[in-house]
């Protein structure tokens, strides 16, 4: 336990909680798309849409975060080398917050919803790279698995928070 000092614990908390953004988004979108108000506002079951158009609209909304995660992961791969993991973490948090602002201020705009989820995906994709790698780099050998596990645990924490908010 002598290796678990204050800087390691702070890194575990700061970088470990990056996973909660992904878990939060997955649980929020999974519960929101079933809400009658969301279905009505974004016309997910509109009579003028064919079954294929309805499915496409729903899949565009739900999968756009994952589409943004791929370029986000590439950005993190290079930016962590160029500007370091700490600044990359700040960058990804800013992208995620901007995407969340898009998401919160929608007012029925489907294009803004899709764009916001893509921008959030850019941040979440970076988090999936930066969090575990940084924790593995700073952790002593004997605690590496424990600290990387904090990242995985925080994903489930994000899922719990998102489901609690929407179903609560």
* All structural domains of the chain: 6-167 (1.20.1250.20)
Q: Which residues contact 57 (CB under 8 A, 6 or more apart)?
A: 42, 43, 44, 49, 110
Q: Given this model, what pLDDT does residue 2 score?
A: 66
Structure-block tokens of residue 8 = 């390691």
Read off the pLDDT of residues 74-113 as tens digits, 9 standing for 90 and up.
Answer: 999 999 889 998 899 899 999 999 998 998 898 888 899 9
- The HSE-up count of residue 135 (CA atoms within 13 Å, CB side) is 29
Q: Is the pLDDT of residue 14 over 90?
A: no
Q: Is the pLDDT of residue 1 over 60?
A: no
Cα separations in angstroms, 92 against 63, 113, 137, 145: 19, 19, 19, 24
Q: Is the pLDDT of residue 116 over 70?
A: yes
Q: Is the pLDDT of residue 134 over 60?
A: yes
Contact criterion met (CB below 8 Å) for 116 and 106 = yes
Residue 168 pLDDT class (50, 70, 90 cuts): low
Looking at per-residue pLDDT, the higher value among 64 and 2 belongs to: 64
Angle between helices 51-82 and 110-138 (to 10 degrees): 40
Q: Is the pLDDT of residue 71 over 90?
A: yes
Rounded-to-integer distance, Cα 122 and Cα 127, Å: 9
Among 125, 126, 120, 101, smallest CA distance to 61 is for 120
Q: Which residues contact 20 (CB under 8 A, 6 or more apart)?
A: 154, 155, 157, 158, 161
Structure-block tokens of residue 86 = 């700490």
Residue 143 pLDDT class (50, 70, 90 cuts): confident
């Amino acid at each position: 336990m002598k290796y678990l000092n204050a800087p390691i614990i702070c890194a575990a908390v700061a970088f470990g909680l990056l996973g909660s953004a992904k878990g939060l988004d997955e649980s929020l979108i999974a519960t929101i798309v079933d809400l009658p108000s969301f279905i009505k506002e974004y016309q997910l079951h509109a009579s003028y849409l064919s079954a294929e158009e309805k499915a496409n609209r729903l899949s565009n909304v739900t999968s756009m975060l994952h589409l943004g995660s791929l370029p986000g992961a590439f950005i993190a791969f290079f930016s962590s080398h160029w500007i370091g993991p700490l600044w990359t973490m700040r960058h990804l948090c800013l992208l995620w917050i901007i995407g969340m602002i898009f998401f919160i201020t929608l007012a029925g705009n489907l294009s803004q919803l899709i764009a916001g989820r893509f921008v959030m995906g850019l941040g979440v994709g970076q988090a999936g790279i930066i969090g575990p790698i940084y924790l593995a780099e700073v952790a002593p050998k004997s605690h590496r698995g424990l600290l990387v596990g904090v990242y995985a645990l925080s994903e489930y924490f994000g899922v719990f928070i998102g489901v609690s908010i929407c179903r609560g």
